[in-house]
Structure 1
C-alpha cells in the first residue's frame, strides 16, 4: 500500500467516524479528528489547493489563530484568572479552526457530503435512543422540556438542524429513494412526514427561544431563496412553486400546531417584549430572560470597549460578569451572544476576522460550479442556522456546538478544494 493510499484510507475512516460520533460520542469524535489530523500530516499535499478562496479561508484562519494566541499570552500575564482555565478556553477557540480537516477529505464530493450528513443523523438517533429511559419518554409524551441526556439547547440545535435538512433535501432524497424503490411512494412520503413532524415536535417542546428565532429567520431565507429560484426559472415548470409552497406550508402548519406552546413560552416575557417594542429599554429589569440579556450586553459592550484590541483573555466572560454587581448576571458564565463574548475574550480584531471567515465559508458553496443545488442550499442553510443560534446564546466553545460547526463549515469549505480523482471513491 502506497503512502497516499494509506493516508487516504485513514482520512476517510476519520471523516466517517467523526461524522457518526460528532452528535453522540465525544471521545470517538475526537478520535475521528485525530485520524483526520494524522492522515493530513501523513499526506500534507491535501492542504495544497490552487483555489484562491481556500487560500483566503486558510489565511483568515491563521490570522484568527495568531490573534487568539497573542491575546492568551497577554491575559496570562495580566488577568487574575486561573492559567489552566485560560489555556483550556484558548484551545477551545483554536479547535474551531480545525474545519479544514473536514474540507480536504470531502473536497465538495457530494456523495461523500451526503454520507457525512447521513452518518451524523444516524449517530444522533442512536445516541438519543441509548439514553431514552422511562423518564425521558414521559417528558416527551407530556410535552415537557428534555434533552435526552443532552442540554436542551444542544438537543434543540440538533433537532432543528435535522428538521431543516430533511426539508431542504427532500427533492434529492425523493429522487434517490425512488430510483431504488425500496417502498411505494406513498409509504416513503408518510415516513418523511412523520420524521419531519417528530423533529418539529422535539424542537418545539424543547422551548429554546434562541433556536425558534433562528428557525424563523431561516424559514424566511428559504422562502426567499425558492422565490428567487422561481423568478430565474420562469413559469414553465411547477417544481419551483412546489418548493416555495412546501416551505411556506410547513412553516404555517408548524406554527399553527405548536402555537399554544410557543405562546406559553413567550408569555413569560410579555412585559419586557412590550417595553422593548416601545423602545423603553431603561425600564426593563434584569429579572427575566430579555432583561438579563439586555443588561449583559450593555455591561459586555462596556468591558469590550475597555480592552478592544486583545480583549480580557479566553474564558474571561464569567470573571467580567462577576464585576457587574448584578445578582442575576453573576450566576451566568457568558454574555449570551457569540460576537460579544468573542470580542470580550480575544478582542474586536479577532472577532471581525472570524466573522469574515464565517461569511467566506457560507458563500463558498454558492460559488461552486456544476454542483447539486439542493445539497448546496442545505449546507448553506444549516451553517446559517447554526451561526444564528449564537445571537442569544454562547455555546461556541462547547463540544456540541463546536462539532456541528466543524461538520457544516468543513463541508462548505470543501467546495473550495478541487476534488482529486483518487480521493472521491469512498
Structure 2
C-alpha cells in the first residue's frame, strides 16, 4: 500500500508529458488490467473474495491494478538502476542469512521466515539468480565502477539466495533453477570472454553440489521423500505431500471438465471439491488447502479458458517483450538494456516454473514479488533504452493522458466498491 500511495502522489505531482508511454507500455498495462478485472468479475459473480492464509488474500484481485499504477509512476520517475541491483543483492543476503539462522541455529528443518517455506525459497532463489545478472551483463564502464569487494558481495548474494532455496526444501524451485541458469549462461556466452564463462559455470556447479550435500541440508532427504511419496501414491496412498498435490491436480482436471469455459468461480471451487471429497473421490487432506497447488490448474478451474488466457498473457506477453529487447540490446551492444531485459525474462520464467507446482499468484508474498519485480524490471529497461537513444517502439503520446486517467479512476472505483461491500 505504501508503494501505491507513493505512485498516486507521483502521478498527481509529475507533469503529464513526463515518461511518455509507448505501445509496449500500454500492452503491459492491458495484460495487468485484464487479469485483474477478470479476477474481480469472478469475485463478483461468486460473491466471495479470496481468503488466503490468515485472511491476507482479500486484496489480491486488485493488486495487478495497483501494479499498473506503480508502472505509470515509475515511467515518469524511473527508479535508480543501482538501487535495483543492490536491493536485489541485499534481499538475497538477508534471505540466506535468515535461512541459515533458522536451520543451523534454531534447528528448523525447513526455514520459512514466518511464511510458507515454498514462496520463501522460490523468491530467495530468484533474488540469488538476479544477483548473478549484474556480474554477467554489466561489464565495461559500469563494471569498472564496481570494486573487488562489491563484486564479491554480489557473488555472496547469489550464493546466499541459492543457500536459502536449498535449506527451505523447495523442490519446485530446484526444477526451475536449471532453466534460469541456462538463461544466465546464454547471456554470459554473449557478454563474457570464454574463459570467464567456463569459470562461472564451474563455480556455479561446484556451489550447487556443495550445498546439496551439506551435512544438515534437506536436499537428499526431500528428493528421497518425493520418490517415496510417488511410490506410495501409485499404490493407492494419497495422504503424503506429493500425493495430496497429485490429488489436487486430479480434482482440478475434473473441475475443468465440468465447467471449461468460465470455471467454477472464487469460493465455489472449494465447495464442489469438498463435496467430491465427502463422496470419497479424493483424499480428505485435499480440503485443508484453499488452492490447487498450481497457478495454471487453479486459474483454469476457477475462471475457465478465459482466465487461463489472461494468465498466459500475463506471462507470455512480457516475456516476449523482454526477449525482444534483449536481442536488440545485443545487436546494439547496450549492456544495460541486456541486463534489465534478462532480469525481466528471468522473473517471468521463474514464476511460470514456480507456478506449475505451487499457486504463487494466490499467495500475498508470491503475487507481490512477481508484480513488483516485473514492473521494476520493465521500467528500468525502458529507462535504459530511452536514455541511450535506443530504437524501440514509437511512443503513443496521444494515448498517454487517457491511459493515466483511466487507470487512476479505475483503481479508485474498485477500492470504493470493495470498501462499501464490507
d(CA) in 1 for partners of 2:227, 2:121: 23
Contact 1:307 1:347 in 2 (8 A): yes
Task: Pick closer, same or farther for the CA change 1:91–1:190 going to 2, 3 Å.
Answer: closer
Is residue 2:4 matched to residue 1:36?
no
State which of 80, 90, 103 in structure 2 corresponds to 1:139.
103
Task: Pick closer, same or farther for the CA change 1:123–1:264 going to 2, 3 Å.
Answer: closer
Is residue 2:223 matched to residue 1:255?
no
d(CA) in 2 for partners of 1:37, 1:346: 30
How many residue pairs end up in the alignment? 367
Is residue 2:117 matched to residue 1:152?
yes
What is the CA-CA distance between 1:84 and the residue it aligns to? Answer: 8.4
d(CA) in 2 for partners of 1:240, 1:394: 39
Q: Secondary structure at the match of 1:333?
A: coil
Task: Pick closer, same or farther for the CA change 1:320–1:113 going to 2, 3 Å.
Answer: farther
Task: Pick closer, same or farther for the CA change 1:138–1:331 going to 2, 3 Å.
Answer: closer
Q: Secondary structure at the match of 1:35?
A: helix
Is residue 2:331 matched to residue 1:331?
no
State which of 28, 35, 38 in structure 2 corresponds to 1:67.
38
> Could you say which residue in structure 1 is the equivalent of 2:376?
411
> Could you say which residue in structure 1 is the equivalent of 2:271?
319
Deviates more, 1:291-300 or 1:48-57: 48-57
Give RMSD over aligned pairs. Answer: 3.8
What is the CA-CA distance between 1:268 and the residue it aligns to? Answer: 0.9
Is residue 2:62 matched to residue 1:94?
yes
Task: Pick closer, same or farther for the CA change 1:223–1:396 going to 2, 3 Å.
Answer: same
1:235-279 deviation digits (Å, cap 9, x = unpaired): xxx61552355135403431344146322211112235569xxxx
Contact 1:223 1:248 in 2 (8 A): no
Task: Pick closer, same or farther for the CA change 1:379–1:60 going to 2, 3 Å.
Answer: closer
> Could you say which residue in structure 2 is the equivalent of 1:18?
none
d(CA) in 2 for partners of 1:247, 1:389: 23
d(CA) in 1 for partners of 2:51, 2:101: 37
Contact 1:218 1:381 in 2 (8 A): yes
d(CA) in 2 for partners of 1:114, 1:46: 25
Q: Secondary structure at the match of 1:312?
A: coil
> Could you say which residue in structure 2 is the equivalent of 1:20?
none
Question: Mind listing any 5+ residue stretches in structure 1 that lack a counterpart?
Answer: 1-29, 77-81, 231-237, 276-280, 422-426
> Could you say which residue in structure 2 is the equivalent of 1:196?
158
Per the normalisation by structure 2, the TM-score is 0.73
Counterpart mapping for 1:261-276 below 5 A: 261-273=218-230
State which of 201, 208, 219 in structure 1 corresponds to 2:170.
208
State which of 197, 203, 214 in structure 2 corresponds to 1:243.
197
d(CA) in 1 for partners of 2:371, 2:46: 27
Is residue 2:132 matched to residue 1:167?
yes
Q: Secondary structure at the match of 1:170?
A: helix
Is residue 2:314 matched to residue 1:357?
yes
> Could you say which residue in structure 1 is the equivalent of 2:352?
387
State which of 300, 304, 315 in structure 2 corresponds to 1:343.
300
Question: Mind listing any 5+ residue stretches in structure 2 that lack a counterpart?
Answer: 278-282, 389-422
Task: Pick closer, same or farther for the CA change 1:180–1:83 going to 2, 3 Å.
Answer: closer
What is the CA-CA distance between 1:391 and the residue it aligns to? Answer: 1.1
Task: Pick closer, same or farther for the CA change 1:108–1:214 going to 2, 3 Å.
Answer: farther
Q: Which has the bigger relative contact order, CA under 8 A and spacing at least 6?
A: 1
Contact 1:40 1:46 in 2 (8 A): no
Task: Pick closer, same or farther for the CA change 1:99–1:376 going to 2, 3 Å.
Answer: same
Per the normalisation by structure 1, the TM-score is 0.72
